[in-house]
Structure 1
Amino acid sequence: MNQSSGTPTLAAAVPKYPVPRRAKKLKDRLWRERYLFLLLMPGLLYFIVYRYIPMLGNIIAFQDFSPFRGFLNSEWIGFHHFKTIFSDQEVIRVLWNTLLLSFLQIGFAFPVPIILAIMLNEIKNEWYKRIVQSIVYLPHFLSWVVVIGIVTIFLKNEGIVNRILNPLLGIEPISFLQQPGWFMPLVVLEVIWKEAGWGTIIFLAALSGINPSLYEAAVVDGANRWRQIWHITLPALRSTIVILFILRLGTVLDSGFEQIFLMLNPFTMDVGNVLDTYVYFKGIQNADFSFGTAVGLFKSVIGLILIFAANRLAKKYGEEGVF
């Protein structure tokens, strides 16, 4: 109130709207941790520019896209390409190859880093343990071009393996790279050799958090090493295994384009052509961009559904899950 006139002042007449507490906390936190967010920006920009913005191009999966007419003028045909996915026998065969190869990798390649981490954890000599770790990590840093080149040198008809098998065992040279029956086993073995050592990093980190007193108590109770692994080590790894398994299911339709593409040849095309390479041949080489995009979008949706389903199932059985 104005003491001289008794009328309310302008400041008193204007209502004050306080800043919401949550917004104020967020603003204070952004300013307080501004340097950390600046460090986050390059990675965030990478995902925005190369992951999220290109998703707008998925619109051509619903069009008869022509590069000359562009996104806006291409004919809209709805779900025609998605219907073709389930009616084309070639797509069905490629989808079966993809699923079979992915489940072979989950069944044989996924457990190997767990077993390797447990074995490394049992090594008491730290010097020897570091040497073994370095050796098994090394293949991860080789490109697939180098790995396939090494495999070709070893397994071709005049390669090292056939030169050993023929004189020693009297076995005729085996066409490992041309026989369809050898294609998927070789792919799985290559994945194990290249990535198993790198995959042990996460499991070794989880094992380092186990309280040593648990093992000491188990020894007092008379448990041998196998019992200690079964009752202490594996339960400690369970949550990590579940999370990585959920993430792996999300990529069940991703078989690894580079590796498969380098391994393919006319003899193994029927069993080795997967969704990734099929999209390349169909969408890029044959310039059927709309159908290739539809197959890629279908693959992404299936992976998303599998992640949500596996995550919900994990939570149902008492695990934390991914989100």
Structure 2
Amino acid sequence: MSSRTEPEPGLVPVPARPEGEYRQLINVAYRLLGSLAEAEDAVQEAFARWYAMSDRQQEAIESPGAWLTTVVGRICLDVLGSARARRERYVGEWVPEPLPDSREWATGRPGDSGADPADRIALDESVDMAFLVVLESMTPAERVAFILHDVFRYAFTEVATIVGRTPAACRQLASSARRRVGAARPPEPPTGLQARVIKDFKQAWETQDIAALVGLLNPDATMVADGGGLVGAALRPIVGAGEIARYIVGIGDQVPGMKLLVRSVNGRPGLVAQRGGATVTVAAFGLAGDRITHIWAVRNPEKLQPWAAPEDTAVRDR
């Protein structure tokens, strides 16, 4: 977090310009909300509150970064509090918004200028899709306490000012959340193995090889599709290797001309489906050993805006 520079003797102090905190704030907000659009809104609201203050009020704040983090945390807590009701009205299944790795896209992608918030998010294990899905099962207070303490290493005394509970209570919230994560996430296989499995899955999908697809899936694998009511998508999870394989092959029959690309999705190997130069689906995967246990397929176009790159500008497929 930033700290204020003391003015030289005889000079009038100049209010801090905290724009340098943007990257940290967008990283915090995305992990708290699982939505890039909502994270950006939360951060912009925090900056709006900062600049609505007078110079004197700003000068009285010792650490603008800490102040902004507190405001963003409270905004996110409010958003999470209303999220359950909004998710109940959501058409079909809700999946966190997938993030691209801008290094895999050639110049010309909107985010290449650095203006795209997706380019400012560190793609580590705390944005892995499986991790974000577990976060969705937590209470808002659990999620905020866990993310701020365990991921960003804020002290519980700082977390307490955001959550509105005692430091001891925040410690308990983070501990409960930690147990949820440990119980829900199996040991992650090496990245090289993940990449090989996803590449094999892509090939089996392209050749419509149901037997090969089934062989790459756990028998009780689950596939969740998020269309948001804006595009066609399964409204309920698809369970079972055979059911998923047949559904996948059916998509190929219904969408001729679809091209599959192996791309990083939230920092892990995933698949991007493009048609006519537009990204229509982004799929993230959860694995146990060399078998796929979960597929999260995002088709809602509102969640695919960071992926809006023409097919011919994408880096050569691996």
Fold conserved between structures, TM > 0.5: no
Return the index of the structure with the highest Cα Rg: 1
Higher relative contact order (CA 8 A, sep 6+): 1
Normalised to the residue count of structure 1, the TM-score between the two structures is: 0.21
